[in-house]
Structure formats: C-alpha cells, structure tokens
Structure 1
Amino acid sequence: MGVIGAGAIGLSTAWHLAQRGHHVSVYDPRLNDPVHRQGSANDLSGTSASLGVLMGHVFRRSSGRGWRLRRRSMELWPQWIGALQTHQPELKLDLGLLQIAEDEQAAERMEGLASQRVDLGLEIVAKEALNKVWPTATHGGLHSRHDGRIDPLLLQQALREALNEQSVEQTTTAVVHLERNNNNKWSVHRADGESTLHDVVVLSTALTTDTLLEPLGHARAMTPVLGQALSLQLTTGPTSWTNWPSVLVDQGFNLIPTSPGRLLLGATVEPGDCAAEAPMTLMRSLNGRAPEWLRTATVVAQWNGLRARPMDRPAPLLEELEPGLILASGHYRNGVLLAPATAEWVAAALEQP
C-alpha cells in the first residue's frame, strides 16, 4: 500500500501498518529534508512547525468522535513512546498541562470538567497556588496530569528511523496524480514520470489533498491557518522552572519550558498563509496578561507553519472514500496528538472483514 504524506500522521500510519505486517511505501519530497529548525524559518511543515502539545483530557466535549480519538491516543502514546525510544532515546512524553482560566465563566466550566474526570487526572488549581508560576491567573486554572507534550522533531526522527528498520520504501518524488485501474488497484503517478501500483492508497496530504482528490470526483476542501512560534531567552524572571508544568496554556497561547531561562511560545493565531507582525506582538503581551519577564525576553528563533483545517466538516477527515482510497488528513492543530488513534483507525479500515 502507499501512504502519501510524511508528517506526523503519514509517518505514524506507515509505521503502524508496517508493524502489522503490511508492505508499505511512503511518498513525500520532505523525506529528503533534515528534521530541524535552525534560526528563523518560515516554510516549515505543519508537524515541524508545531510544538507537539497534547490536549487530550482537557477537551471540553465528553462524547463524539473527537473525544474518542483523543482518549484513545492518550492511551496509546505511552506504548508508542516506549517502542520509539529504541530509535530515539531522547523522545519522551513530557507530562503535565496547566490551562489558565480566562474569566469566571471559564473557571466554572473547568470545575465541572475536573469533577467529571478525576480518574483521568484533572484537578482545579486555585489562583493562590499560581502566584509564583503565573501571577495574572486571577481565576485559577485546570491541571491535567496526563496531558502534556511530545517534541515533534524527535518524533519525526524516531519514526523515520523506525521505518528504515521496517524496510518501508520511502520515495522523495512528489505524487501528482492518482488513477483508478479496472483491476481494483491504484496507480500513483509521480513528478518524475514514474508510477507505482498499490491495492490501497492512504492520503495524509493536508493542504494538497484536494489537488489529488478533485480529478477523482471527490472534494474535501481545506483552508490554511497559520501557526507561529518563538523560542525565547529570558533576561529576567524565573531562573528555573520549578513548579511549572510541561505546558502552560493561557488564552490559547502555549508556553513550554525547554531549559533554564529558555522557553517556547506559540499559537495558531491567524487564518491564511501570510504572517503578520501584529500576532507576534500579541503573543508577547498575551492581551496584557503576560508577566514582565515574558515581555522583555529575547527572541532566539522564530518560525511559522500552516495547519490544514477542513471546510464545512469537523477535523480530522477520516474516511474511506471508495475501495482502496483512504483519507486521513485535516487534523488542524492536533496532528501529533491524534497520530496513534488515526493510525489505528486506518488499520481497522483496511483489515475489516
């Protein structure tokens, strides 16, 4: 089978399927590129640009497909990390996510959620307990013991190495066209003029999905949403991150300590594919709620990347469009989070009687 796309979803799906005994080929020009962020970058893939935040158990809804996928991924991630550490020992699940309540209404919603999910590790944190960590948290917050973060760069490196061990064929030429054949197989045509035949094709192609689907009579439009991130060096403020969670979330902005005096700050902040200066200023001020040490921190690196958000359909898009053509894409802000559950869904779709 062919998996088109080598972000977190495509790589995870290919690895999971190979482990289950399927013969897998992965197609993506990015497989030629090293996995890193050096200096400032403006053209990173969604996975490389992401911060790898896992907001699974703090999801507001308590039913539906989105909640089930999050729950399942959070169950699977510890197993996946254990297996992938063979290839990348530094890969780990950084646990602990603190979500700051924006106002009294948000605090009440968090209290309700915490009371329902005590067994999932959710608990309310009073504002007094947050004075040293986040003094502007006047309404307290919600702490999730089992949510947190995975480094998306280390994840991609681990998955690539795992694919090599599984002898998964990796093709770095772009796929330009898919063609149905009369014998129920799919021809994958590449930019170099070559083509390969597969029984099954899995599309994990984010914003380029429609280019491949429209000639086949399918339409799954997605719109780009820009995510931006900063790596910051503090000049004042905390000298260590004692009592800090792995991720602190305030008004949708994610703050992630990485080493003494260093942290990442990022968010999906604006529609479209062109970065504006205003959102970067907003990230530094957090609508006036940022502590002074964050406002005065030095920018070490800055980057952005595009997330693919489905139009008129909920994210993600998990569908068997026709026999042998599976769509697993459009995860928007949750590609890293939902990778294990998505891979499991694809395998189930392939293996169902």
Structure 2
Amino acid sequence: MIGAGAVGAGCAWRLAREGFEVTLVDPGLQAPLSRQPERGGPVPARNGLNGTLASLGILMGLVFRRSSGRAWRLRQRSMELWPEWAEELNQPESPLQLETPLVQMATSAEEGQRQQQLADERADLGLRFLSPQTLKRQHPHWPGADHGALQSERDGRIDPLALLGALRHTLDQCAVRQIAASVGAIERPTADRTRLWQLQLDTGERLQVEQLLICAALDSQTLLRQLNHDLPMEPVLGQVLDLQLPDGIRPGSDWPAVLVCQGFNLVPHNHNRLWLGATLEPGAAADPARLHAMQTLQGQAPDWLQAAEVIQCWRGVRARPLNRPAPLLEVLEPGLMVATGHYRNGVLLAPATAEWACSQAKRL
C-alpha cells in the first residue's frame, strides 16, 4: 500500500484485520503528528501538511443534500461505520472519540427552506431545523443566524491527529509493516519472470507484492503514469486559522462541535480558542483575499470574531479529480487498485473506502 493518510492507514488496518499481510509505504511515517508552523508564519503551501494533518476532520455525511447516487451511499455508509471505528480505535494509549453535533447555518431564505425539508425527511437520522427565532434566543453568539440552521446530531468531527495516532498504534498491534520511504518506480508482474508487483523505494529497498493499493493523493497520478494510467487530479488548498478569542467571549456548552457558516468551519477548542478553516482555493498557492473572506465569514463575522487574534495558521493541499467525481475508487487492472482523490472528504469517507478496498482485495 502506498499512502498513509486517513484513507491509506484506515485501509491498511481493515485489510490486516481481514487476514492480509500488509506493508504500508509513506515518507510521512517518520514525521511527527504535528501542525507546528515555521517561525514567523504559516507552513508554506509548497511544504504544507498532507491532507489529513491539515484537515479539521469534519464529518458532513448526513447533511449531504442528495439522497441517491454513489456520493450519498459512501457518506451514509461511512456515517454508519464511524461509531464502530471510533470505539475500536479508542485505546488508553491513543484515545479517540467522535465529537458531535454539527450545525450548518443557512445562507439565504431559500437555503433555509431546503434545510427545513431535509430535516423533515431525515428526522430519523438526527436532523432538525433551528429557526432564526430559536437561534437568536438560545444561541445569540452564533454567526449567520438570519435564515435558520440545520443541526445534525451524528455529524461533527474527529480529531485527525488523534485518528492518525490511533491508526498507527493499531497498525503496530496488527503487525502491519510501516516503511518511511517514497516509491520511485513500479513494475508490473510479468508472466516470464514473476507474478508479483515490483516497487523500488528511495531507500534502495525493493518490495514484491501480490496486490497494490495506491492512496497517495496527488502523488498517485505520477505513480500511475508509469503504468500508462491517466487519472488527472488538481490541487485545492485548504487553510486553517487558530484564533484566540477576546476576553469574556468563549464558545460555551451551547456551541456545537462544528458550526458551518458561509461554507467555513468553526471548531471551538481549549475553552477560548477557535479553529476557522475551509478548503476552497484552487491550486497550491494561498490567496490573501480568500483568507480575508474566510476570516470575515464573507462579511458575516460578528464583532467578537473580528477581534480575535490569529495564533497560528496552517495550510494543506487536497487532491480533486478532474472531470470525474471524487473519490477515485477503481480496480485499474488485476492486482492494482486506487483509492484516492477524496478532495475534502478523506477523513469522512475513510471507513467506506476501507470497506470497498477489502471487498476488492478478496476478489483478486
């Protein structure tokens, strides 16, 4: 397996549980699970964090608008599996828990009406609509309350740093071999030589494997081109601000685990701190105007948020497939699978992706 983000590590764990002998390769396996920036500013995008480390671990599954198709099925299945994953991965050495609920603020009266309809249709899944009157009376500090909001009791987030730590701990217990290296070349099995895939690592080691699963985000396309498979993807930049709130202002017990306003995610932590983040910028270079739009919530930020001090900023690039829906879950040829290009939903869709990978591996 190539790639050890939430998707790759999650797939490795579930494949090992199914009895497969798994080797996981990723240069990031030697790096600490940290988001510490360079002194004086954010991590530069060109040296930014991988998708999982850079993310806030947002789980927006059941608030998804569509009620059919692959995108909805993957979200629905992942939300069914996440409680099981969290329970199994939660250990004293690597604590892990789901944080709920999630509240999505309506940006217009029309969106508020759509949210009301969706809440009525999915009441059994824990969705309910909060009217503007309810929001202003019970949650006066929440931004963007003019048109109501959709609350999902099961959506929310899972800490991506804790998730990767728990997965690595569990992979050690499952005897998954973890190699901190990059794959330089891949060779197909040949009938006259071997039935195994050949992987040449930058450490000089050469691996031979029966099946190969690539979960390497943007690096996947480079590896696959060697095998004449064209799965183009584009980078999309995500940024997060860690904000210190003014004295006297702190998200209280009435705040959800995640509040989404104008497409931006607000996540309270450490009593009077708030993460504010989104993945919206095409390319790998940051746009100051987009960062300003996020910090001001497109002009919807209340005074207390505008007065917050930026403590830290980090960036990371996600992979979005070109001209194809995300994610890419495909068997490209016998023994070669790809599970990548999850765009903003790598953490969310990790369980359903791992289930897919296990089902395909058993068929080969």
Counterpart selection for 1:167 from 171, 175, 178: 175
Q: Which amino acid aligns with 1:319?
A: E
Contact 2:95 2:166 in 1 (8 A): no
1:1-353 mapped onto 2 (5 Å cutoff): 3-39=1-37, 40-42=42-44, 43-86=48-91, 88-131=93-136, 132-182=140-190, 183-236=194-247, 238-352=249-363
Q: Distance in 2 between matches of 1:57 and 1:240?
A: 24
Contact 2:250 2:273 in 1 (8 A): no
Q: Structure 2 length as normaliser, TM-score?
A: 0.94
Deviates more, 1:89-98 or 1:10-19: 89-98
Q: What is the DSSP-based 3-state SS (H/G/I as helix, E as strand, rest coil) of the residue aligned with 1:41?
A: coil
Contact 1:87 1:161 in 2 (8 A): no
1:173 Cα deviation after fit: 1.4
Contact 2:27 2:179 in 1 (8 A): yes
Deviations 1:208-245 (A, max 9, x none): 11111112111000000000001111014533422111
Q: Which amino acid aligns with 2:83?
A: P
1:189 Cα deviation after fit: 1.2
1:101 Cα deviation after fit: 0.3
Deviations 1:133-164 (A, max 9, x none): 32531000100000000000000011111111
Q: What is the DSSP-based 3-state SS (H/G/I as helix, E as strand, rest coil) of the residue aligned with 1:264?
A: strand
1:111 Cα deviation after fit: 1.3
Alpha-carbon distance change, 87 to 223 in structure 1, aligned in 2, over 3 angstroms: farther
Q: Structure 1 length as normaliser, TM-score?
A: 0.97
RMSD: 1.3
Contact 2:251 2:268 in 1 (8 A): no
Q: Distance in 1 between matches of 2:314 and 2:363?
A: 41
Q: Distance in 2 between matches of 1:193 and 1:165?
A: 27
Alpha-carbon distance change, 135 to 52 in structure 1, aligned in 2, over 3 angstroms: closer
1:350 Cα deviation after fit: 1.1
Contact 2:238 2:277 in 1 (8 A): yes
Which ranges of structure 1 fall in alignment gaps of 5 or more residues? Answer: none
Which ranges of structure 2 fall in alignment gaps of 5 or more residues? Answer: none
Contact 2:2 2:26 in 1 (8 A): yes
Contact 2:98 2:157 in 1 (8 A): yes
1:53 Cα deviation after fit: 0.3
Deviates more, 1:157-166 or 1:49-58: 157-166
Contact 2:2 2:24 in 1 (8 A): yes
Count the aligned residue pairs. 351
Q: Percent identity?
A: 50
1:89 Cα deviation after fit: 4.6
Q: Distance in 2 between matches of 1:228 and 1:116?
A: 33
1:323 Cα deviation after fit: 0.4
Structure 1 or 2: more strand by fraction: 1
Q: Distance in 2 between matches of 1:135 and 1:128?
A: 13
Q: What is the DSSP-based 3-state SS (H/G/I as helix, E as strand, rest coil) of the residue aligned with 1:4?
A: coil
Q: Distance in 2 between matches of 1:129 and 1:255?
A: 20
Deviates more, 1:33-42 or 1:273-282: 33-42
Alpha-carbon distance change, 189 to 135 in structure 1, aligned in 2, over 3 angstroms: closer
